[in-house]
Structure 1
Amino acid sequence: MTTITTTQDPTTSTMTAPLFPVGTRVEVRRRFDQHWAKGFEVADHDESGYRVRRLSDGELLPVSFDEPSLRKERKKSTWWY
């Protein structure tokens, strides 16, 4: 009989908290013209990136996004520019 011992110390874990937790409303950088699109929220995250849900119809987008392709949704301002 072989005994296998594993040690997992939570203080030495390499896992870090995500920049955008699930449920965070975000803007997505469009890959076509590099402008920001509103109306999304983070649905899930893993080592491949963030999965994003479109708020207008609840659809989960078929691709993952990395952190530079997302930013927190900006609030509307009374200024124009």
Structure 2
Amino acid sequence: MEPDDHVRSEQPEGTAESLAPGTRVEVRNRLDGRWARGFEVIGHTPGGYRLRRLSDGMELPLPFADADVRRERRRSMWWY
């Protein structure tokens, strides 16, 4: 076991180890804290995740912190 293995296993879903390029994600809105859908991971740098907006393919200009990015969740309610 490597020194960081226990840290990786305790990290919540949606951290750097679990979000590879191409993964569809939700992003925490910096204004109101709500989660927004429609993004995918381009890569991960020390500054955070680089993301692309799916609607038009544009890369977002600023990286997002690991805590502000999570794997896209499927909506399970029939009215969504």
Length-normalised TM-score, structure 1? 0.73
Following TM superposition, the consecutive aligned residue runs of length 4 or more in structure 1 with deviations greater than 3 angstroms are none
More strand by share: 1
Q: How does 1:2-81 map to 2 (within 5 A)?
A: 18-78=17-77
Q: Which runs of 5+ in 2 are unaligned?
A: 9-15
Whole-angstrom distance in 1 between the partners of 2:39 and 2:26: 6
Bigger-Rg structure (1/2):
1
Instruction: Give the counterpart letter for 1:42 in structure 2.
Output: V
Length-normalised TM-score, structure 2? 0.74
| CA RMSD, Structure 1 to Structure 2 (Å) | 2.3
More helix by share: 2
Instruction: Give the counterpart letter for 1:34 in structure 2.
Output: G
Whole-angstrom distance in 2 between the partners of 1:31 and 1:39: 15
User: Greater relative contact order (Cα 8 A, min sep 6): structure 1 or 2?
Assistant: 2
